[in-house]
Structure 1
Amino acid sequence: MHSSAPQRRSGLLRALAVATAALLCLIPWADTAAAHGSTIDPMSRNYSCWKRWGNDFQNPDMANQDPMCWQAWQDNPNAMWNWNGLYRDGVNNNHQAAIPDGQLCSGGLAEGGRYRSMDTVGAWEATNIASSSDFTVQVHDAALHGATYYQIYVTKQGFDPATQALKWSDLELVRTTGAYAPGEGTPSTEPQLGGVTVSIDASAPGRTGRHMVYTIWRAGHMDQTYYLCSDVIFG
């Protein structure tokens, strides 16, 4: 006929736990301690959105100023908070078998589709590359995984990332590195990064205009592979 004080307290605690869990999904860097790495120059799509809007991600002006990031934030904010967690385990170097055409930027809908908005076709914000061919990719290794190798691909001339979904046949492999030991690279001084940054020189002659740089990072500590899309403008 009446509820006890312990029952009321139990209900309140359950409600508080649910509210806290929901809030943690919207806190910047809430899960970065468990994250790993990404390309930071040219910036991967989700790192770029986090870098520009992480402190202002609910600003409605983003819809007009940066519509591709806007759709990404609306789809799943954790794709940006976890910008350094876009990877798949157990691929065993069979990248094209594991990642279907049209899903290259999400790592084949990695992490239950968390990063699916990275596959959305459109005019993403792009990094300008002054050269018509030579460039450097900087991969940030926050967890000091090292690498079995890095592979750098660039889209072929004539591909338009603003109107076309990325397929394996659109890419040209322009650089494959050797192994990197855990911790090898330049230590980062940026507080939100930590870890080290690896710089990889590459060349893609004959490119002009909009392109995509696609980086595959096979980690050195286990069969764990990162798939990273960066938008660039050559020349």
Structure 2
Amino acid sequence: MHARRKVAALAAAGAAPLVLSLAQAQPAAAHGSMTDPVSRVAACFQEGPEAPKSAACKALVRAGGTQPLYDWNEVNIANAAGRSKEIIPDGKLCSAGNAKYKGLDLPRSDWPASKLSAGKHTFRYRATAPHRGSFELYLTKASYDPAKPLKWSDLQARPFAKVTDPKLVNGSYEFSGTVPARSGRHLVYSIWQRSDSPEAFYTCSDVVFGRGKAKGAAAPSEKDIRDGAEKSTVEHHGHGDLGGGEGNAPEAKGGAAKPVAATSENLAETGGDGSSAYYAVGGAAALALGSGTLFVAARRRAATNR
């Protein structure tokens, strides 16, 4: 009986790493975009990728095609790890340095915009795949010129709204912030940094204060989202870029962003195409083979000792 218990204990010890590795190999999930005030990419998606109505959205399609609009919830950096200001170059904030979304960086003063007022406001961020993390919202300075490329220095140094793990209401994160006073056309920049992964998501929302006329920005409806999902390369309820797109390796200031080393905490949670999951599965297979070898050896020893 003692030998049999020993065999069982060895087998369990060998299987435990296998179970852990398989658990770590499961893909994580997080995608979304600001809908109040609506982001540029979401507003243009709502207009219709194949035939957008506004001049700015038409220019976006000319710059990068329709796919960026079908993938409206994927403006991200897989390995941001809180370094957004270090790795996203000036002039490429709205695309997060991602060539696929370069049309979002076009400097122009006719992007579809939402009305916004100083004071308390409830913000909404549609999460097609929710995940834990923090949101930071930045407003452009009074000197902001929408006809020039957006730079980090155009934003206030500190976020006017910051929240961790806000409430998810009907598929959207909701949280409040106090909007500073402004006049005319401005921009709200958001950073959604996941807490369980180095991945972060970004949006640019054009807004108009005061009596300035907003250019009819509207958020996509749930029907728009469902209908557009068929042509999206983004897993709306999973994680990653099905097409292995350009979105996860932005060009950093002074050079390419360095990938974050895989660890037991971030394995298979760093975004991209999910290749880290394959490494985890491969490691699990090796552990399984080792577990089987231990089991056979233990049985042989038990038989010898009888």
TM-score exceeds 0.5: yes
Report the CA distance between 1:146 and its aligned residue.
2.6
Which of 37, 44, 48 matches 1:42? Answer: 37
Q: Which of 53, 56, 60 is 1:72 aligned to?
A: 60
Deviation at 1:35, TM superposition (A): 7.3
Quote the residue 2:6 is aligned against. none
CA distance in 2, matches of 1:133, 1:67: 31
Deviation of 1:41 (Å): 1.3
4+ long deviations beyond 3 Å:
none
1:215, distance to aligned residue in structure 2 (A): 0.4
Displacement after TM superposition at 1:198 (Å): 0.9
Deviation at 1:44, TM superposition (A): 0.9
Higher fraction of strand: 1
Instruction: Report % sequence identity.
Output: 31
Deviations 1:198-230, CA, capped at 9 Å, x for gaps: 112222322111000000001244211011100
Ranges in structure 2 where 5+ consecutive residues have no aligned partner? 1-28, 211-306
Q: Does the alignment pair 1:229 with 2:204?
A: yes
Alignment RMSD: 1.7
Aligned twin of 1:11: none
TM-score by length of 1: 0.71
Give the aligned partner of residue 169 of structure 2: 186
Aligned length: 178
8 Å contact from structure 2 (residues 31, 201) kept in 1: no
Task: Tell which has more relative contact order, 1 or 2 (C-alpha 8 A, sep 6+).
Answer: 2
1:19-57 superposed Cα distances (whole Å, 9 cap, x missing partner): xxxxxxxxxxxxxxx872111111111110011224xx2
Give the 5 Å matches for 1:79-158: 79-109=68-98, 113-122=99-108, 123-129=110-116, 131-147=117-133, 149-158=134-143
Report matched runs for 1:46-57 at 5 Å. 46-54=41-49, 57=50
Distance 2:65 2:194 in 1: 25
| 2:164 alignment partner, SS class | coil
Contact 1:89/1:225 (CA < 8 Å) preserved in 2? yes
> TM-score, structure 2 length as denominator?
0.55
Structure with bigger gyration radius: 2
What residue identity is the alignment partner of 1:143? Answer: A
Is contact 2:30-2:131 (8 Å) kept? no
- Cα distance in 2 for partners of 1:119, 1:88 equals 16
